[in-house]
Chain A
C-alpha cells in the first residue's frame, strides 16, 4: 500500500514492545537493544577506568606498595580484558544496533531475536568474567594470556578459567551479532540505497563483522585448547610432550590483530559520517574511505606475526610481516587526507561532536606513526614489552575508538533521547579528555625509550622514570574528570536538556528524518533512496529526489522490505518475528553451561547443554501464526555465515595440527605411527553417502514430495548415527589418548569437535523430521530444510579435510 498518510496508530500497535518488566525482558526492538548495549558497555568502560586509576595510583612514584603484585596483575589484566572485549567492541555494536535500521530505511535488523540473544549473551559473559574479581580470582595473565605462564602449572587457580571460558562465551555473542549485521547489510537496505550510498559506519561495521566471523574462531580455538590443557591434561602448549607455546601466540594474534581493527573501523565510520554534517558538505573521497576501511582489514588480517617479532622467528619471515604492517599506513593515510580535504573545503562548525572528531584525527595520526615505527623489526625488538608499546596502543585504541565513540554520543544523543547535551559542558569534557589523554600517554613513549618495561607493579625510585609516571598519573586523573563531567551532563541533559527536534544538526542521513526519539516502527512509510544524502537533496540537487515522506506502509504485521545485495532493488517483503523470551532463556542456559565448566562439573555442563538444545527447539518451533518461515534471502544468509565461521574454526584446529607437526621430529610420533584406514575409510564413505541422501530428500520437497523428504531425512539420520558409532569404536582401538602427547590431544580434539558437529546435525535432522511429519514443509516453504542441508553438507566437507589431514597425508608424506 502506498500512501502519504500512514496509519501510525496501527504501526505503533504492531511494533511496540509490551510495557512492564516482562516486556523489557522479551523486547527484540533494535533501538532498545542498542541502548542497552550502549549503557552496559559504558558501565564496563567506567569499571575499566577505575582499574586503570588503581594502576596509576600504584605507579605514580617508585617503590610504591599500595597494591600487591598479585592485585596489580589482576588489575592490568582485567583493565585490558574489560576495555578490549567488554567496552570497545560492544559499544560500537550499541551504536550500530541502534542506528543501522534507521540509517538504511528499515524497521529492524535482519534477525531481531538473534540480536536480543547477542545482547543477553554479552551481559552474561561480561558478568561471568567480572564475577572473578568478586572472589579475588580475576584473570592475571595479561589480556593475551601467554602460555606457559597461564598454564595449570604456573596459574593453578580459577583465574584463567574465567578468562578462557568467558571469552568463549563472549565469542558467541560477537559471532551471532556479526551474522546479524552482515545479513542486514546485504538484505535490508532501503530500495535504491546501493552499496555506494550507504553511510561509512555501515562499511566499518560490515568489515568488522566479517573479521569477527573469520578470526573470532581463532580466539575460541586457543581458549578451548588452553582450557583443555588446564583441565583435561592435554598437551597443546606443553613443549615436553610435543606441544609448543608459540602455537598460543599464533592463534591468539591471528585473532588479536584483526580485533584491533574490529574495534576501530566502526569508530572511523562514526567520524566519517559526522564530518560532512559539521563541514556542511558531502564527504570527499567516499569511495576511498569505504575502500580504505575494507583494505585496512584485509591487510590487518595478514600481519599478526608483527606481535611476535621478539620470539626469534627467522628474519625473512618477519620481514614479510614488517612490510605488510607498514602498508597499512597507505589506506589509513588516504582516509586522513580525505577527512582533511573535506574539512578544508567545508565550512566547519566547531560543535562538540566535531571537536571529538578533530581529536580523533590528531590521535589517529600520532598512533599511526608510532605503529609504523613498531612495524620495523629492529625498532620493535628494541622496544618490545616497554611502555612505548603501551603508549602506541592507547593512542590507537583511545584515539580511534573512545574519541569517535564520544563524538557519537554527542552526535546521536539527541536522536536517542530527544534532548540535547549541553554544548558548553561538552567543550570542557572534550578538552579535559584530550589534554588528559595526551598528558597520560605521550610520556609513556618516553618511559619506554628510557627502558621502563610493561606489566611491572612497581619500579625502583631513581631510575629516571618517576617524572614521566607522575605526569601520566596526573593525565589519567584529568581524563577521568572529563569522563565524570560527561556522565553528569548525560544525567542532567536527559532530564533538563533542550528539546532536540527531528534534526538538530541539519544532518543529511535518514535517521534524522524522523522524530527524536524515533517511533517504535522507525519509518511510517518505507523510504526509497536516490542519493547518499537524502535530507540534503533540496540543497545539493535543487529538489528532493528520494521518497522519504511517501511510499509503502507495510502494516500487515511486522513487515519491512527485503532488497538485493548490491543495488538494493526490492525482492520481497520480510515478515519480522514478534518479541520473545527465548533469547534471554537461551543465554541463561548458556550461563549455566559455562558456570558448570568453570567448576569442572561435567554432568551439570551436559545438563546445561541439554537445556540449550531445549531452548533451541522452543525458539525454532513452528509458530502457527508465523509458520516455519518463508524462503527469504535473509533466512539463507544466517546459515551461510555460520558455516563460514565454523569452517574457520576447523581451519584453525587443522592449522594447530600442522603447525605442531611441522616442528615435530616425526609426525605422527614414531611410537604411534599413522592412523589405520580400516574403520575411517568406510566411515568416510558413509558420511559422504549421508550428504547424498539429504540432497535427495531436499530435491524431493522442492518438487513437492513430502514423503521423499521424510525418507531422505531418516536415511541421513541413520547414516550419521552409524558414522558416530563407528567413530566411537575407532576411539576404543586407539593407541593414544588425549593425555598421551600433543598428537593425541589434537587427534581427539579435532575428531571430537567434528563428531560434536555431526551430533548437532543429527539433532537438527530430528527437528526437521518432526516438522516434516507435521506437514510444516511444502514446495514453497522449505527454507529450514535448505539451511539444515547446507549445515550437513558442510559437516561432511569438513570431514574430508580432517580425513585427509589425520589419515591420508601422514601416510604419503
Chain B
C-alpha cells in the first residue's frame, strides 16, 4: 500500500469538510453583509447554488477518500501481523490507520452532506 493512499484515506474527508466550512461560511456571510451593510436578501443570488456546488465537490473528495480507505482496510487486513500479538491486534498499526480512515471518511462525508442540505432548509440571510 502506498503511503499517499493511506494518508488520503485517513485525511481526505476531514480536510474536504474543513475546507468546505472555510469556503461556504464566508461566502454566505459576505452575501448577506456586503461591506458590512446588512441586506434583506442575499446579494449574491447564487449563494445557495455556490454552496451546493462546493459541497458536491467536497463530497466527491470525501467519497473518494472513503473508497480509498475501504481499499486500504482490505489490503492491510490481508497483510500478516505479528503472530505473538493478541487476536484483536494482529493487523498492526497500518490496519489501525486504514480503519481509522474508513470511520473518519464516513463521519466527515456525513458532515459534508449536512452542510450541503443547509441551503434547502434555511434562507441565506434571515
Q: Are A314 and B28 neighbours in the complex by a CB distance under 8 Å? A: yes
What 0/1 readout, one digit per residue, does chain A (569-586) give for beta carbons within 8 Å of chain B? 000000000000000000
**With a CB–CB cut-off of 8 A, which chain A residues contact B30?**
662
**With a CB–CB cut-off of 8 A, which chain A residues contact B21?**
302, 320-321, 324
- Near A by CB (< 8 A), chain B positions 34-70 give 35-36, 38, 47-48, 51
In Å, the complex CA distance between A323 and B21 comes to: 11
* Shortest distance between the CB of A805 and any CB in chain B (Å): 15
**With a CB–CB cut-off of 8 A, which chain A residues contact B119?**
316
**With a CB–CB cut-off of 8 A, which chain A residues contact B103?**
287-288, 291, 295
* Shortest distance between the CB of A430 and any CB in chain B (Å): 32
* Shortest distance between the CB of A661 and any CB in chain B (Å): 10
In Å, the complex CA distance between A290 and B96 comes to: 10
Interface residues on A, range: 35 or more
- Near A by CB (< 8 A), chain B positions 98-126 give 99-100, 103-104, 107-108, 110-111, 114-115, 117-119, 121-126
For A545, the closest partner residue in chain B by CB is: B84
**With a CB–CB cut-off of 8 A, which chain A residues contact B126?**
314-315
In Å, the complex CA distance between A317 and B114 comes to: 13
Q: Are B104 and A320 neighbours in the complex by a CB distance under 8 Å? A: no
**With a CB–CB cut-off of 8 A, which chain B residues contact A298?**
14, 18, 108
**With a CB–CB cut-off of 8 A, which chain A residues contact B108?**
295, 298
* Shortest distance between the CB of A537 and any CB in chain B (Å): 8
**With a CB–CB cut-off of 8 A, which chain B residues contact A287?**
96, 99-100, 103
Q: Are A316 and B86 neighbours in the complex by a CB distance under 8 Å? A: no
Q: Are A314 and B32 neighbours in the complex by a CB distance under 8 Å? A: yes
Once A314-B31, A315-B122, A316-B28 are accepted as A-B contacts, the answer to whether A323 and B111 lie under 8 Å apart by CB is yes
What 0/1 readout, one digit per residue, does chain A (303-316) give for beta carbons within 8 Å of chain B? 00100000011111
The reply to whether the CB of A299 lies closer than 8 angstroms to some CB of chain B is: yes
Q: Are A319 and B93 neighbours in the complex by a CB distance under 8 Å? A: no
**With a CB–CB cut-off of 8 A, which chain B residues contact A533?**
86
B93's partner among A195, A295, A663 (CB-CB below 8 A) is A195
Q: Are B85 and A531 neighbours in the complex by a CB distance under 8 Å? A: yes
The reply to whether the CB of A672 lies closer than 8 angstroms to some CB of chain B is: no
**With a CB–CB cut-off of 8 A, which chain A residues contact B122?**
315-316, 319
For B111, the closest partner residue in chain A by CB is: A327
Interface centre among A299, A305, A532 (most CB of B within 10 A): A299
Interface centre among A316, A317, A662, A663 (most CB of B within 10 A): A316
Q: Are B47 and A316 neighbours in the complex by a CB distance under 8 Å? A: yes
Q: Are B89 and A323 neighbours in the complex by a CB distance under 8 Å? A: no
In Å, the complex CA distance between A288 and B96 comes to: 10
Q: Are A194 and B92 neighbours in the complex by a CB distance under 8 Å? A: yes
Q: Are B32 and A196 neighbours in the complex by a CB distance under 8 Å? A: no
A317's partner among B25, B92, B100 (CB-CB below 8 A) is B25
* Residues in chain B within 8 A of chain A (CB atoms): 14, 17-18, 21, 24-26, 28-33, 35-36, 38, 47-48, 51, 82, 84-86, 88-89, 92-97, 99-100, 103-104, 107-108, 110-111, 114-115, 117-119, 121-126
Q: What are 20 A-to-B residue pairs whose CB atoms are below 8 Å?
A: A195-B96, A197-B89, A291-B100, A294-B104, A295-B14, A295-B107, A298-B14, A298-B18, A301-B18, A302-B18, A314-B126, A315-B126, A316-B122, A316-B123, A317-B29, A320-B28, A323-B117, A531-B85, A540-B86, A566-B94
